[in-house]
Amino acid sequence: MLLRAWLHRLRQAGVRTHARHRWLGWGEDGALRFATPEGEVAWAADASVLALGGGSWPQLGSDAAWVPLLAARGVPVARLRPANCGFDVAWSEHFSDRFAGAPVKAVAASAGGAFVPGEFNITAGGIEGGLVYALSARLRDAIERDGHAALTLDLAPGRSLEKLAADLARPRGRDSRPNHLRRRAGIDGVMAGLLREFGQIDGSTATFGLAAAIKALAVPLVAPRPLAEAISSAGGVDFAALDERLMLRDLPGVFCAGEMLDGKPRPAATCSPPAWPPAARPGRAWRIGLSGSRATGSADIIVMTANGLRVVRRPCASEEVFSTLLPRYIGRARGRRIAPCDRVLGAWRRGSFLP
């Protein structure tokens, strides 16, 4: 809906869209060359804005075909690497067959000094999902630097090591060890499978050792998934090649924008707070709350109307997107009380879009 509105506004402003045009670089006269179904065409322009994406998802157009074109003109381009990506894990055949596709929920993970709660998914050959994406840059860099990396999981993030050990030390009576783990630690299914896969425990492992494995289970990673499967890419045009207006210093009139720039991408599981419109600041007769989900990389605009709670779910987006969205919903809710996020956190998943 928002994209359609933007396109409509651009058309009203006289912007023309030419589909099925593939940029081929520059001609000898400096004109932009394009391949089209009718053959090659050239366009001369006083200014050009290149917003060509990174190298992820080439089937949708982000194939990094622009890299050699800019490199041939002397523009420094850092190697494109996967960002916000999954990783390969050397599962046993038994684990892969049984748990491929299973979600691992209500856990936490750490890597490179960062600690992130959330959830992720098991694949036939590795792991993926919001929690993994949040740590993917650190894990990718560690593999490139050291040749190996591990994602350290806390399978019981709500309990301290001491509390978990005390719970597991309770007599289990006639319970089997798997039932005891399920009842006392909430470990069953795919979590129990992970513990068996990498916990290095057996029937003789002491209670404290078992608790320690649950609280810090190292999952060794083989490699990041290929760039073509990543949500986004790192690397791109070096910022040193651009001036303060994002124009290429050696190609006057050519500007670069978006993911093709060598900036550090924001992890999929983080979101900066928006620039709130003045009327939406706390302390007014009505308020608006924003809550970011670290697990899914999404944000919720939580609104209390006369008909009950409504949650406007949006992907993690830039401040510009939120500053566009918020006035619209504030206008519809004017005169109603809009609840701050800390009062309705438990209802994130129950909402729907505002009518």
* Extents of the domains making up the chain: 2-80+232-260, 87-224, 278-350
Residue 126 has pLDDT above 50, yes or no: yes
Residue 227 has pLDDT above 80, yes or no: yes
Predicted pLDDT of residue 204: 61
Tokens standing for residue 216: 């810090």
Predicted pLDDT of residue 293: 37
Tokens standing for residue 184: 């006392």
pLDDT tier at 346, thresholds 50, 70, 90: very low
Quote the percentage of the chain above a pLDDT of 90. 65
* Alpha helix positions (H), the chain: 2-12, 66-71, 93-99, 130-146, 161-168, 177-185, 189-198, 207-215, 319-333
Residue 248 has pLDDT above 70, yes or no: yes
Local structure of residue 273 (DSSP, 8 states) = P
Predicted pLDDT of residue 339: 38
Average pLDDT taken over every residue of the chain:
79
What are the Cα distances from residue 203, in Å, to 196, 199, 207, 218, 345? Answer: 11, 12, 10, 20, 41
Q: Computed from CA positions of residues 258, 260, 266, 268, in that sequence, does the dihedral angle turn out positive or negative?
A: positive
Residue 172 has pLDDT above 80, yes or no: yes
Q: Which CATH code of 3.40.50.20, 3.30.460.30, 3.40.50.300, 3.50.50.60 fits the domain covering 2-80+232-260?
A: 3.50.50.60
Tokens standing for residue 138: 């650190």
Predicted pLDDT of residue 165: 92
Check residues 172 and 317 and name the one with the higher pLDDT: 172
Distance in angstroms (rounded) separating the CA atoms of residues 217 and 215: 6
Give the model confidence (pLDDT) of 60-109 as tens digits. Answer: 888 999 999 999 999 999 999 999 999 999 999 999 999 999 999 999 99
Predicted pLDDT of residue 201: 77
Tokens standing for residue 331: 């206008």
- Chain centre distance of CA 115: 15
Question: Which stretches does DSSP call E strand in the chain?
Answer: 22-26, 32-36, 39-43, 48-50, 77-83, 87-88, 103-111, 114-122, 126-128, 149-154, 217-221, 223-224, 232-237, 254-256, 289-293, 298-305, 308-315
Give the model confidence (pLDDT) of 188-216 as tens digits. Answer: 999 999 999 999 877 666 888 999 999 99
Predicted pLDDT of residue 315: 38
The answer to whether the CB of 87 falls within 8 A of the CB of 126 is yes
Predicted pLDDT of residue 203: 64
Three-class DSSP category at 159: coil
Q: Computed from CA positions of residues 223, 228, 232, 237, in that sequence, does the dihedral angle turn out positive or negative?
A: positive
Residue 229 has pLDDT above 80, yes or no: yes
Predicted pLDDT of residue 65: 95
Q: Which residues contact 223 (CB under 8 A, 6 or more apart)?
A: 87, 88, 143
* Alpha helix positions (H), 147-282: 161-168, 177-185, 189-198, 207-215
* Mean pLDDT computed over 144-168: 95
